[in-house]
Structure formats: C-alpha cells, structure tokens
Amino acid sequence: MRNIWTPYTYFSRRNFVILVAIQIVIAMVCWISLDAKWLPTPLAIAQEWQKLVQNQGLIPNLIESVRTSLISLVLAAGFSTLLVFLSTAPLFWPFAKFMSAMRFLGFAGLTYIFTLLTNNGDDLKIGLLTFGMTVFMTTNLLAEVKSIRQSSIDHCRTIDMQGWRISYELLLRGKLDVILDLLRQNAAVGWTLLTMVEGLVRSSGGIGVMLLNQNRYFNLAGVFAIQITILLYGLIQDWFLGWLRYTVCPYLTNNKK
C-alpha cells in the first residue's frame, strides 16, 4: 500500500478494494458526524426513500424513465451510426457535420418544433432525448472517422475492396468496440438530460418529474434518495454495457486491466 501516492504504479485489485472500502467508511463517518442543514443524514434519506417507494411510486416512475432512456438510446445509436457511416461519402458529410453542430442548441428552443412533429407527450420525450444523445454521439463518431489512417484505406483497396465495403470494414467492424463504448457513454449522457426532458413533458411521469417535485418543495432527503437511486441504476447500466462491449468484442480482453 506504500505506492498509493505514486502515479502509474502497479496496484493489485485486492489492495484497490481495500482502499475503496476504507475511503467509503471514512466518508460515511464524516457524513454522519457532520451536522449540516443542507446535507440530510443517511437515516433520513433511507426513511424518505421508503416513503417514496410506498406512497409516490418511485419504482414505477423509475421503470418509465428506464424505458424512455433505452428507447432513445437505441434510436440515437442507430441514427448517428448510420449518418456517420454515410458521411464517409462526400455527399453526406455536410449532413453529419450539421447534426454535430446542433449540439450547441438547447431544448428550450426546440420543444415547439418537436411538439409539432410528435403525436403525444411520450413521443415528445423520446424525440427530445434522442436528439440530445444523437448530436453528441455523431460528434464522437466523426472524430473516429477522421482517426482512420489513409494507410488503412489504401490497404483495403489493395485487397480489392471498394466503396461502402471499405466503410463497413473500417468503421462498422473496425470501430465496433469504440461504437459500443460511445453507446455506454451516451447512456450516461441520456440520464443527465432525462430530468430536463421529463420536466418539460410531465404527462407520462418519470423519475425526473419526482426529482423536480422534491426539489420544488426543498425536500432534500427526497432529492438525495432519488439521486442515489439514479446513481445506483446508472452504475448497474454502465457495468452491463461494459460487459456487453467485452462480450461482443472479445479481442479487447487482451488489453483489459
């Protein structure tokens, strides 16, 4: 444990688990002993979480938010991957760059447009969230396209590959692990946007609506309870998508630390 202060040194998994456990214990002791009005105690948060589950439907609202997030994630991943795949041809490159540039736009100015394009509140939520994730994933995928070396393209041509076959081999197959990693990252981005989207469209509920309601009435214990619930689900989701990436791309295990 003497090398914990030295950057880029080997640290065993066992020692890492011990270090994390010690830090968690210290953090919990500081939290419990800290008498601050702005920070509810763990007991108060646990009691409020129980009330939210029993009386306000925390679990059904969480399921609704998960459903919205997953549908939007699949749509965003499919649309951005297809757009960037097509952008390897000069005709479609401006469309991909335009989609990437729209990441600077906020939801407030787009809500009216998406309202006209959708049939109900549920579709409106999915549309806004899909847009929010698509623009960022498109930006990241375009950077991956630029990182493909000319030598790789020339190599494909020497083995009699042409046109879209080169794009398929170098982007969809060659960058599959990167695409799945970007999928994992954008799943997290989606949860940061979800509260805003569900706040704009409250008709179908969701955990974001509950969070805004608790925040509106300054119920800090309720806010912390909901945030911790989101955090725990997010960690489980992140682990699953990471596992999926290594399962689909088993060649990554050689570089896994």
CB of 110 within 8 A of CB of 128?
yes
pLDDT value for 130:
92
φ/ψ (deg, to 5) at 206: 125, 160
Q: What is the pTM of this model?
A: 0.83
pLDDT value for 257:
46
Query: What Cα–Cα distance (Å) separates residue 48 from each residue in 34, 58, 211, 221, 223?
Result: 19, 11, 13, 6, 9
pLDDT digits (tens), the chain, 257 positions:
566 777 767 777 888 888 889 988 998 888 878 777 778 888 888 999 999 998 888 999 999 999 999 999 999 999 999 999 999 898 989 999 999 998 888 777 777 788 888 888 888 889 889 998 999 999 999 998 888 888 888 888 888 888 889 989 888 888 888 999 999 998 998 888 888 888 888 777 888 888 888 888 888 888 999 999 999 999 999 999 989 988 888 877 755 54
CB of 36 within 8 A of CB of 30?
no
φ/ψ (deg, to 5) at 145: -65, -40
Q: What's the sign of the alpha-carbon dihedral 179, 194, 75, 84?
A: negative
Residues 6+ apart with CB under 8 A from 198: 65, 68, 125, 205, 206, 207, 208, 209, 212
| Sequence-ordered alpha helix ranges (H) in 10-161 | 13-33, 42-55, 58-86, 93-101, 111-117, 121-147, 150-158
